[in-house]
Amino acid sequence: MDNKQDFTQGSIFGKMIRFMLPILAALILQAMYSAVDLLIVGRFGTTAGVSAVATGSSILNMVTFVLCALATGVTVLMGRYLGEGTPKRIGPLLGNAILFFLLLTVVLSACLLLLARPIAVLMQAPTEALELTVQYIRICGGGLVFVVAYNLISCIFRGMGNSQYPLIFVSIACVVNIVGDLILVAGFGLNVVGAAVATIAAQAVSVVLSLILIRRKPFPFSISRKDLRLGKETKSFLQIGTPLALQDLLTNLTFLALCAFINHLGLDASSGYGVAQKIQSFVMLIPAAIIQCMASFVAQNVGAGKEDRAKKGMLYGMAVGGSIGVVIALLAFFQGDMLASLFTSDPAVIDRAFEFLRGFAPEAIITSILFSFMGYFNGHGKSLFVMIQGLFQSFFIRLPMSYIMSIQPDASLTGIGLAAPTATMVGIALCLWYYRKMQKELNHP
């Protein structure tokens, strides 16, 4: 391995920061090109279009997050094999992964194309936005193969300790999406259809260019045709990735239920929550970068038998993420209306978005702690516990609290937003218990 990609030696803080910053930059750009759809539709489209993009992108995000969680098994195993000094095992692993995700994408694309309308109805999309929501889901479903390919390629590079290439890929996608939105939505007035086409076109261009770049880069492994099968490596990465994917699926279903609760409150609330969701995606960038960094960092050190180094990495993640989170939380709590005004000029929508952000703001701080724990556990392959704690906090805390708040007379989105940090605190308590249990097992095998 290149020394920069070897996490088993050298400065822990330096190695983590150099690996995490490109991940964070890539996540920022990814959130930007997602937010651009909403921003440009909000400026040049309709309020119904904002609601449709918000609801439709929630569906696409759920599918994407689940597939990325499943691919985490590939990332963790790559890190482990590199830490063990057995890179020859990576070729069969990637061959198995490519075939598996190709088959899965075909099934998911068919589901989104055929079930777009029932999904939109289930999401309680406002009547004015129903047809637009269906259009967005179908277009994104038809281009899902590019979304999956982009994310799988990025997971492979992160497993190698290389976060620079994913940054290049998402930078390309961001530029293409912005240009596409300006041409199709602002220029030709295609509203939601233009935003969806621009999103898929951006992913497609990024995938094609990334494959060209990959062909020119040497790797410490090779993939042959015989590796393109469903074999024992498929079982290995699914054992790690499936619990995480199931957690993300069910957790995102709770977010979709939350979206449906809020859609029921009317078009202003639906659009306001859609705007708040985009701001929320930026708020969560630091925790998201930490968990991706942590899984690769810990996996390599576990493979090399350096448990103390893995634990120190987790603590660094908590310290860095929590410190930055304080600033972000204060901005969301006190200046949320200013942030919302970047996406829409409708005063009613801005007010509703600000309501949600006031309740959600503490999440910016405490999620970095939770995600550092989760990345540490994922790096050890303990994804089953990560799934259990995630489902517990989602189904027993966040979802019930959100529903209760949504049915109050003159329901405020602040109470609904507060459900997220409340659930996260419960998740941290569960992680503390499991961490202590795990340390006893490691010290006394």
Q: pLDDT averaged over consecutive 10-residue blocks of the chain (445 residues)?
A: 74 90 83 78 86 85 84 88 85 92 95 94 86 95 93 84 84 90 92 93 90 78 85 90 83 77 86 86 86 89 91 94 94 93 88 95 94 93 90 92 91 92 96 94 74
Alpha helices in 284-398 (DSSP H): 285-303, 307-340, 347-360, 363-379, 383-393
User: Are 260 and 401 within 8 A, CB to CB?
Assistant: no
d(CA 388, CA 380): 16
Say how many C-beta atoms besides its own lie within 10 A of residue 175's C-beta.
15
DSSP 227: G
Q: What pLDDT, on the 0 to 100 scale, is given for residue 160?
A: 80
Reference 331, options 373, 297, 286; nearest CA is 286
Please give the pLDDT value at position 392. Answer: 94
The span from the CA of 180 to the CA of 187, in Å, is 10
Q: What pLDDT score does 159 carry?
A: 80
Q: How far apart are CA 151 and CA 19, in angstroms?
A: 17
Residue of 351, 326, 356, 327 whose CA lies nearest to 337: 351
Q: What single-letter amino acid sits at 54?
A: A
How far apart (Å, rounded) are the C-alpha atoms in residues 233 and 358?
45
What pTM does this model have? 0.74
Q: Which pLDDT does position 163 carry in this prediction?
A: 83
What are the residues whose beta carbons fall under 8 Å from the beta carbon of 428, sequence distance 6 or more?
A: 366, 369, 370, 373
CB-CB contact of 417 with 258 (8 Å) = no
Q: How confident is the model at residue 1, as a pLDDT?
A: 53
Round to whole Å and give the CA distance between 340 and 332: 10
